[in-house]
């Protein structure tokens, strides 16, 4: 193998590694997409009202969905107020909900929201609405008044 070819291959690997944070592994939404959507959701709730935006999120309005990314909103007590993938969860107290590994992720999310209101990332496992498989997920959340607005991407 020529030195030039080796250099090209090495450059290709380096470029792939550098750009991996820009795209998710399976071509779904990115971490940046999640941050932008959560910030847009928070702004819309502030300007247009919770009732309207929660209905849009739960009604799967296209502006609150991008590939495998959707918004959810929880009260600080763990009650689901809006869910972009599973409207059956809206209105339920999910504070004790656990992922496949036994992690009480809603309780953790509420605790993180109280401790880090400016925004945080949370890891857990959840069913991907596109693949229907349980996959590792990272959720970006921001506290808004007595709620937590979140959007997550699958790893």
Domains of the chain and CATH, by start = 24-154 (3.30.450.20)
Percent with pLDDT over 90 in the chain = 77
Number of neighbouring beta carbons within 10 Å of residue 42: 20
pLDDT at 27: 61
pLDDT (tens digit per residue) in 125-140 = 998 888 999 999 999 9
* Gap between the Cα atoms of 105 and 97, Å rounded: 7
Q: Report H helices in the chain.
A: 3-19, 31-48, 50-58, 105-115
Q: Does the pLDDT at position 143 exceed 50? A: yes
At 58, phi and psi to the nearest 5? Answer: -70, -30
């Amino acid at each position: 193998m020529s030195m030039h070819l080796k250099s090209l291959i090495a450059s290709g690997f380096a470029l792939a590694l550098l750009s991996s944070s820009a795209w998710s592994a399976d071509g779904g939404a990115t971490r940046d997409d999640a941050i932008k959507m959560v910030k847009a959701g928070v702004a819309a709730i502030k300007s247009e009202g919770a009732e309207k935006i929660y209905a849009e999120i739960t009604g799967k309005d296209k502006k609150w969905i991008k590939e495998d990314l959707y918004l959810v909103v929880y009260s600080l007590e763990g009650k689901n107020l809006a869910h972009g993938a599973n409207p059956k969860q809206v209105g339920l107290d999910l504070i004790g909900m656990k992922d496949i590994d036994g992690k009480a992720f809603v309780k953790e999310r509420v605790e993180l929201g109280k401790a880090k209101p400016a925004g945080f990332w949370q890891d857990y496992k959840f069913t991907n609405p596109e693949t229907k498989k349980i996959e590792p997920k990272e959720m970006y959340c921001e506290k808004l008044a007595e709620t937590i607005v979140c959007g997550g991407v699958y790893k």
